[in-house]
Every structure is written in C-alpha cells, then in structure tokens.
C-alpha cells in the first residue's frame, strides 16, 4: 500500500512565492511598471560619442526637464526642451540614445561635399515632438576653395539619399551649424560645390500643361507641418479655383510613410514634411521644392503671396 506524503502548508506557500518571483523578472531596459500596469517615470540613457548621461522622462516619454548635451570633443550638441516627447519608431518610450561616427558613410550628393564625419543617431527612426536642436561643428580648412562658411548646412541621410534640412544657423566664429530635427537618422555637415557656369535658363518654353502642387507629411505632425498644409490649401483654393476645376492645377497631400505612396515619394525625393511644385510641360516633369515658404511660417500674408507667385510663374512657364 502506497504511503501518502503530506507536505507542510507553509512549505507549499514558500514554493509558490518563489515560482511567482521567477516569472516576474523584468528587463533592465524597460521603464518600471506600477501595480496598475502604467509605466512610471524612468531615466533615458544617452551616449554621445562616449560621453554618457541620463535624463528623466515620464510614462509617456515626455521629458521632465530641459536637456542640453555635448560630446567631450564639442563636435555634437543636442538640446531638448522640457516636455518634449521622445519615442522610438514603434511609438514606445525611448530607452537609449546612442550617437556614433559612421565607419562606412554614404557618398555625398552630386552637387555637394561632406565636411567632416557622418554621424549615426540611434535608434534609427526615434522621433521627437516638438523638434529638437542639433549642432554640429566643422573645420573651415576642409571647405572647397572659394566656398563661404555661410553656405554650410546639415543634411540627413535615409533610404532616399541626402536631404538638406530647411532650418540652419551658422556660427562662423565657433565654426558650428545648428538645425532642428524630428527624428534620428544619419546627419552630417555638407557644403555646395563651387558654382560652375551654366547657360541662362530658357524662359520662352510657353505655359505649363499642368501644375501639380504636392505636399508631403509624416504620420506624426508638428505645428509647422500643419501650417504649411493649411496655408497651401488656402492659397490654391482661393486664387486658383478655375485651374483646380479644369485640372490645370492639382493639389495633393500625401503621407510619406504610406506604402502606397512609395513611388511618388521616390520620384519627388521626399522623406519628411516638404512642399513641391511640379510644372508639367510636354509630358516632362519640372519639379521644384518650395523651401523658402518655410521661413514664412506664421506670417500669413507673406506665406500666401510667396506661394501664389510661385504657382502663377509655373502656370506661365516662367520656371
């Protein structure tokens, strides 16, 4: 006859507790979780070319203080305002920021050269709302002969190639250039190659067959992005009603992150918020990015007048 072994009740409770503890370990990289399942405040780690630091963010990835960081050699600086939301490309709270020099940098665009190193900001696709400030230093001795320091700019490299960022502030005394970014990718200081002589453009080609006004944006949108779309829509619908009705002017708003827009995004070379005017004549595209309107954000009348003038010139074939 088999004997029945009785295990003391306190020992059963102890085994159960140890089992629960073993199944409840958490990753050291994730923000701690409260009893209610909500993420509690945590520290975001940053490694800026070997200079390490931390800053606090709440459960939604919102910074709890202003952050101003520089690498030990002073070649990179980041500035983030309090309450900036920092998320990874999956939309989750950002855990680690890591900036390194790209050992195999992409080649420069055909009309510019890279000044200094190409920096890889990781994780790629991490995004910020509002935009954060990025400052990169450059060596004026590396500039091509005949090129002014005031012409340097910061560009971003993603799958579609190099993209010149709209905003810049060049400090020629400290040899630094500053811009604003809303996501992580590869960044570098670029400068246009010395100009070469070109024949005067032919302005006698006649009126356009059609003008496409195309505005690209990302899923996550900031104030500037929404302003440009609204200002463009107002300009087109107010001053080009007849052209819209006849199909002479086409206005499109497209999300660069939608897979169905991949072909047109590649055609225009757009990877972030940007406005293009495409003058179509004889079946040929003449695409121009309307970068200057971004400097008129918040100046309603100036914005509308500048864009109206561009579209009118395109219709007349003066571009």
Considering the domain architecture, whether residues 139 and 263 belong to the same structural domain is answered as no
Considering the domain architecture, whether residues 73 and 134 belong to the same structural domain is answered as yes
Considering the domain architecture, whether residues 77 and 139 belong to the same structural domain is answered as yes
End residue of a domain, out of 192, 222, 237:
192
**DSSP-derived 3-state class of residue 68:** strand
Considering the domain architecture, whether residues 48 and 184 belong to the same structural domain is answered as yes
Considering the domain architecture, whether residues 54 and 132 belong to the same structural domain is answered as yes
Domain holding 225, by residue range, is: 210-316
Cα torsion 74, 65, 60, 26 to 10°: value is: 70
> What's residue 116's pLDDT?
94
Strands (E), 49-124: 51-57, 67-70, 76-80, 85-87, 96-101, 112-122
Domain with residue 159: its CATH number is: 2.60.220
Return phi, psi of residue 266, to 5°. -65, -40
Does residue 243 lie in a domain region? yes
> What's residue 34's pLDDT?
47
Considering the domain architecture, whether residues 226 and 170 belong to the same structural domain is answered as no
Count the neighbouring beta carbons within 10 Å of the beta carbon of residue 71: 17
> What's residue 42's pLDDT?
87
Number of domains in the chain: 2
Query: Between 223-239 and 300-316, two packed helices, what is the crossing angle to 10 degrees?
Result: 50
Does residue 7 lie in a domain region? no
CB of 187 within 8 A of CB of 135? no
Regions of the chain where pLDDT drops below 50:
1, 4, 11-14, 16-30, 33-35, 37-38
> What's residue 138's pLDDT?
96
Considering the domain architecture, whether residues 150 and 61 belong to the same structural domain is answered as yes
Domain with residue 305: its CATH number is: 3.40.30.10
> What's residue 182's pLDDT?
93
Considering the domain architecture, whether residues 180 and 215 belong to the same structural domain is answered as no
Read off the pTM.
0.54
> What's residue 22's pLDDT?
42
Strands (E), 14-160: 42-48, 51-57, 67-70, 76-80, 85-87, 96-101, 112-122, 127-137, 153-158
End residue of a domain, out of 158, 192, 226:
192
> What's residue 295's pLDDT?
86
Considering the domain architecture, whether residues 47 and 180 belong to the same structural domain is answered as yes
Does residue 140 lie in a domain region? yes
> What's residue 12's pLDDT?
47
Considering the domain architecture, whether residues 234 and 288 belong to the same structural domain is answered as yes
Considering the domain architecture, whether residues 219 and 94 belong to the same structural domain is answered as no
> What's residue 205's pLDDT?
60
Considering the domain architecture, whether residues 153 and 241 belong to the same structural domain is answered as no
Does residue 305 lie in a domain region? yes
Alpha-carbon distance of 51 to 94, in angstroms, equals: 18
End residue of a domain, out of 159, 192, 225:
192
Pairing of strands 127-137, 76-80: antiparallel
């Amino acid at each position: 006859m088999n004997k029945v072994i009785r295990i003391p009740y306190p020992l059963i409770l102890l085994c159960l507790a140890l089992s629960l503890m073993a199944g409840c370990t958490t990753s050291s990289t994730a923000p701690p979780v409260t009893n209610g399942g909500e993420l509690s405040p945590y520290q975001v780690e940053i490694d800026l070319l070997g200079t390490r630091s931390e800053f606090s963010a709440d459960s939604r990835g919102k910074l709890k203080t202003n952050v101003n960081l520089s690498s030990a050699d002073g070649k990179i600086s980041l500035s983030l305002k309090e309450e900036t939301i920092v998320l990874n490309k999956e939309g989750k709270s950002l855990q680690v920021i890591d900036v390194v020099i790209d050992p195999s940098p992409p080649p420069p665009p055909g009309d510019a050269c890279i000044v200094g190193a190409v920096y890889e900001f990781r994780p790629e696709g991490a995004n910020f709302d509002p935009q954060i400030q990025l400052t990169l230093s450059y060596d004026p001795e590396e500039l091509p002969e005949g090129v002014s320091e005031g012409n340097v700019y910061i560009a971003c490299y993603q799958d579609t190639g190099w993209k010149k960022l709209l905003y810049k502030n060049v400090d020629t005394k400290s040899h630094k250039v500053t811009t604003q970014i809303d996501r992580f990718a590869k960044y570098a200081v670029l400068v246009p190659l010395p100009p070469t002589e070109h024949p005067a453009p032919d302005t006698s080609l006649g009126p356009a067959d059609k003008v496409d006004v195309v505005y690209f944006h990302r899923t996550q949108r900031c104030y500037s992005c929404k302003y440009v779309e609204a200002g463009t829509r107002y300009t087109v619908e107010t001053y080009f009603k007849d052209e819209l009705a006849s199909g002479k002017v086409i206005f499109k708003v497209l999300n660069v992150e939608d897979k169905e827009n991949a072909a047109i995004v590649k055609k225009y070379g757009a990877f972030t918020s940007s406005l293009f005017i495409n003058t179509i004549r004889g079946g040929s595209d003449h695409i121009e990015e309307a970068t200057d309107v971004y400097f008129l954000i918040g100046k309603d009348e100036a914005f509308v007048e500048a864009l109206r003038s561009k579209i009118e010139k395109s219709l007349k074939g003066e571009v």
